[in-house]
Every structure is written in C-alpha cells, then in structure tokens.
C-alpha cells in the first residue's frame, strides 16, 4: 500500500474499504498515541461563518468561500444526464455511474482538504476560539439557501476544528448566535439588519464595519464575558 501519512503508536486494527469509484483504502487505528505539542498561544479570535465569505475573523482577516460544489455543478449535471440516458444493466451504464461518483468524490476530497487546512491554521494560531452554536440541520430547511449552506460544509468545519483544538489543548467556546449581526460591537446598540445589508452602520455611535466582521467581534465578546476575562480594547475597535 501507499502510506500517505506515517502513524504513531501501536497499530491495533485495520479496516479495508473499497469506494464507489473502485479505489481501495486502509484505515489503521493505533493506541498509545501522544498528541503533537504546539506552542502555547494567548491570542483569541471570534469566528462568524457565512455564505458570501466562508468565515470572518474578529482580527479582520477572512477565509474565502471556495464553493466546490458550484465549481463542479455543470460537470456533474452533464455526467448525470449521460447516466440517465444509458440503458440499465449495460457496461455503458456502469461506466457513466462511475464518472458521476468520481465527481462527487472530487468535491468531497477538495472540501475535506480545505477544512483540514483552515482548521489547522486556526488551532496553531489561537489559544481561544469563539464560534456560534449553529444548528445547521435546521438552517438547511430553508430551500433558497440549502444548497449553498450544504456546499459551505459548516458542520464539518466546526467538528474538525473542535477535534483539533481538543487535541492541541486549545479552548473552544460556543456562543448563542442570536443578535450577533444586529448588535453594535462598539456600544451594544441593537438594530434591524436585513440580509441584503452588508455594512453595519450603528445608528447610536456611528461605528461601521462589514456585518460579518461586526458579528465576529460580538461572538468574541460573548465568549470572553462568559469566562470573566477582560476584553482587550483593540478587539472592539
């Protein structure tokens, strides 16, 4: 076999599986594995996930939304049309089914690679990471946004981030997402913010920022407040 990643610890079990595209993989489980130590960090960040931008960080940086499914949508539709026209039980039908499976596999692998790379960067850089406690399965009930939310893979991002943070000894804080976009991160004033409005301009103190940046600042404020810590002045500017 081709070993993509070296393992540590004592191998105990091996699970062999074959994918729909005919590829074989072996998953090896080891025990007595010691997590890799990374340098301690006092840096803190709030993260607001979205659709226009995949994630906006409270330090002003952004993670762009790669939209992997959107990029492959045309190729997938074409492959599915060819599959539907092929006669059942024929070699051509099996061949075209494998083409569709390969596109789905490519989307999944690209999405997983993106999630692992971004979560690793966050865990390496920040000691405390604040996130919204989103219930994605309820959000995808919105027919207009369901495809875009599923393509963004928020659940996989949060799940992987939490796992990496636990292994590295980083702190994850989940906060209530209510009103994070409508509340001014500078003075606490709350106002209506339709989804079409992308810049938050406070009616009370004239603070203005990208709505997702404002939300990420509020997420960090909530997380810090819960732990009784002092919020640095620069975080609210």
Question: Is 112 part of the annotated catalytic residue set?
Answer: no
Question: Is 59 part of the annotated catalytic residue set?
Answer: no
Please provide the DSSP assignment of 80-121 as one string: HHHHHHSPTTSHHHHHHHHHHHHHHHHHHHHHHHHHHHHHHH
d(CA 43, CA 62): 16
d(CA 220, CA 236): 10
Reported confidence tier of residue 225, pLDDT bands at 50, 70, 90 = confident
**Is a pLDDT exceeding 80 seen at residue 152?**
no
Average pLDDT over residues 50-66: 89
Backbone angles phi, psi at 32, to 5 degrees: 60, 40
Strands 199-201 and 171-175: unpaired
Domains in the chain, CATH or no CATH each: 1-34 (no CATH), 42-236 (3.30.420)
Structure tokens at 169: 């000894």
Q: What is the pLDDT of residues 170-182, one digit of tens each?
A: 999 998 888 898 9
Reported confidence tier of residue 228, pLDDT bands at 50, 70, 90 = very low
Taking the model in full, what pTM does it have? 0.79
Q: What is the pLDDT of residue 231?
A: 42
The single residue of 92, 132, 192, 233 carrying the catalytic annotation is 132
Q: What is the pLDDT of residue 233?
A: 39
- Find all residues with CB under 8 Å of 186, minimum gap 6, and list them: 202, 205, 207, 236, 237
Reported confidence tier of residue 149, pLDDT bands at 50, 70, 90 = low
Question: Is 132 part of the annotated catalytic residue set?
Answer: yes
Q: What is the pLDDT of residues 91-122, one digit of tens each?
A: 999 999 999 999 999 998 999 999 999 999 99
The single residue of 32, 48, 64, 167 carrying the catalytic annotation is 48
C-alpha distances in Å from residue 9, one per residue of 2, 6, 51, 165, 166:
19, 10, 40, 20, 19
């Amino acid at each position: 076999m081709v070993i993509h990643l070296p393992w540590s610890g004592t191998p105990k079990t091996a699970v062999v599986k074959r994918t729909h595209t005919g590829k074989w993989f072996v998953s090896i489980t080891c025990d007595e594995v010691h997590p890799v130590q990374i340098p301690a960090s006092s840096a803190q960040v709030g993260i607001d996930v979205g659709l226009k931008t995949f994630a906006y960080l409270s330090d002003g940086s952004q993670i762009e939304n790669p939209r992997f499914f959107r990029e492959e949508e045309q190729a997938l539709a074409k492959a599915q049309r060819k599959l539907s026209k092929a006669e059942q039980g024929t070699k051509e039908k099996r061949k075209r089914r494998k083409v569709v499976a390969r596109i789905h596999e490519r989307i999944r692998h690209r999405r997983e690679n993106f999630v692992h790379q971004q979560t690793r960067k966050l865990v390496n850089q920040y000691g405390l990471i604040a996130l919204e406690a989103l219930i994605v399965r309820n959000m995808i009930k919105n027919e207009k946004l369901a495809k875009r939310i599923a393509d963004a893979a928020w659940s996989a991002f949060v799940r992987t981030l939490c796992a990496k943070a636990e292994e590295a000894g980083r702190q994850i804080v989940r906060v209530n997402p209510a009103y994070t976009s409508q509340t001014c991160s500078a003075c606490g004033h709350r106002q209506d913010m339709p989804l079409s409005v992308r810049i938050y301009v406070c009616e009370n103190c004239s603070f203005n920022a990208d709505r997702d940046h404002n939300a990420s600042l509020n997420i960090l404020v909530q997380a810090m407040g819960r732990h009784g810590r002092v919020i640095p002045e620069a975080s609210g500017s």
